[in-house]
Homo-oligomer: A and B are copies of this chain.
Amino acid sequence: MQRHPRNPLIEPDQVVPSAPGYRVRGAFNPAAVRFDGEVLLLLRVAEDCPAREGRVAVPVASIEAGVGRPEILELSLDDPDVALKDTRGIVYKGLDYLSTMSHIRIARSRDGVSFQVDDTPFIFPGDASECFGVEDARVTRFGDTFAINYTCVSPDGWGTALATTRDFRTIERRGLIFTVQNKDVSIFPESIDGLYRALHRPNNSGFGRPSIWYAESPDLIHWGNHQCILRPRDTFWEEMKIGGGAPCIKTPQGWLQLYHAKGRNQIYSLFTVLLDLEQPWRVLKRGSIPILRPEMPYETDGFFPNVVFCNGVVTWEDGRVFIYYGACDESVCLLETTVAELLASVDAA
């Protein structure tokens, strides 16, 4: 497996802000899909609003009839109604506002390496359930329809919403498919025995550690038969929590899933797990060590240091696999590997 020599492939300064007064802090954690002869990345773009001395400014989505527009709430620090809330935001007249807001932006490439980032958002917060931002998309293809799931954040918590598209220009919102608190949803690229399948990551913190769960659906919208199938191990790398990544890769040996793990010292790394083809809630094998961990300067030093996180993978007919990953919640990088190498990495029972 090899990091691409041109890493990071996409950095924040390549992204045009959503609105005047906005500043792009991160372009990271992309979904990935082959479409119409191109590789499309669905970037998470995080923006904040610089403020003048003595003032504070936060990005807000002004939402009307299902359409959101980027606006700025700028306030004086002398305003008695303003309270700072650690580094993540402010409280104004009793309501919370976050200091950064994310949306989903498309980057397009012919070769999977050189990307051109769209000038405008693809999915911008569009209803009350998304008003704090939309994050970390995954794309799963079903014929000529693409299912996009993403984390939606609001004062009511963070859950997972579904949107569908056929052209990567317009989307249809299909509502929250996994209620709060739940993210890291990875939908399998085929239905099995007439049911769609997914991995998800509910927050059971305080009663067990955040683990990978399995669910089934007749229609991608309604989900049930939830089962906990993969838990963090007591290791340096997985101690805190784990969560699913891009849609599984189908191999003759089983469904291959790349998952992220948060270990000691807040370090995020990437692992592989192999699931049974017919009964995908059955774990066959699991990698004993990470296939990728923060080592390069762009992985160890950035907006959120020591994070590698993957929610987008592209496979090629010759067995090559392009693993796009976010580094430091800031940039997009590429790890090149093959299905054979990934299968070899799942070495533990």
Chain A binding surface, main DSSP class: strand
Residue A222 is within 8 A (CB to CB) of chain B in the complex: yes
Structural contact, B221 and A225, CB atoms closer than 8 A: yes
Residue A157 is within 8 A (CB to CB) of chain B in the complex: yes
Query: Which residue, of A155, A176, A181, A222, has the highest number of chain B Cβ atoms within 10 A?
Result: A222
Please choose the segment from A35-43, A199-207, A292-300 that sits at the chain B interface, where 4 or more of its residues have CB less than 8 A away: A199-207
Are A178 and B181 also in contact (CB < 8 A) when A222-B223, A224-B222 are? no
Size class of the A contact interface (CB-based, 8 Å): 35 or more
Residue A177 is within 8 A (CB to CB) of chain B in the complex: yes
- Produce 1/0 per residue, A298-341, CB < 8 A to B: 00000000000000000000000000000000000000000000
Residue A62 is within 8 A (CB to CB) of chain B in the complex: no
Structural contact, B224 and A221, CB atoms closer than 8 A: yes
Residues from chain B with Cβ under 8 Å of A213 in the complex: 179-180
Query: Which residue, of A155, A177, A202, has the highest number of chain B Cβ atoms within 10 A?
Result: A202
Structural contact, A203 and B228, CB atoms closer than 8 A: no
Closest chain B CB from A217 CB (angstroms) = 5
Residues from chain B with Cβ under 8 Å of A223 in the complex: 222-224
Q: Which residues in window 176-212 of A have CB below 8 A to B?
A: 176-182, 200, 202-204, 207-208, 211
Residues from chain B with Cβ under 8 Å of A238 in the complex: none
Residues from chain B with Cβ under 8 Å of A176 in the complex: 224-227
Residues from chain B with Cβ under 8 Å of A218 in the complex: 218-219, 222
Structural contact, B207 and A181, CB atoms closer than 8 A: yes
Residue A175 is within 8 A (CB to CB) of chain B in the complex: yes
Structural contact, B221 and A175, CB atoms closer than 8 A: no
Residue A158 is within 8 A (CB to CB) of chain B in the complex: yes
Q: Which residues in window 222-258 of A have CB below 8 A to B?
A: 222-228, 231
Question: Contact check: which of B175, B180, B226, B231 meets A225 at CB < 8 Å?
Answer: B175
Q: Give the complex CA separation of A182 and B204 in angstroms.
A: 10
Residue A130 is within 8 A (CB to CB) of chain B in the complex: no
Residue A216 is within 8 A (CB to CB) of chain B in the complex: yes
Residues from chain B with Cβ under 8 Å of A158 in the complex: 207
Q: Give the complex CA separation of A129 and B222 in angstroms.
A: 21
Query: Which residue, of A221, A224, A228, has the highest number of chain B Cβ atoms within 10 A?
Result: A224
Q: Name the residue of chain B whose CB is nearest to the CB of A158.
A: B207
Closest chain B CB from A147 CB (angstroms) = 13
CB-based closest 5 A-B pairs: A157-B204, A222-B222, A179-B226, A222-B224, A176-B226
Beyond A129-B227, A222-B225, 16 additional contacts (C-beta under 8 Å) are: A154-B228, A157-B202, A175-B225, A176-B225, A176-B226, A177-B226, A179-B215, A180-B207, A180-B208, A180-B213, A180-B226, A181-B181, A181-B207, A216-B222, A221-B225, A222-B224
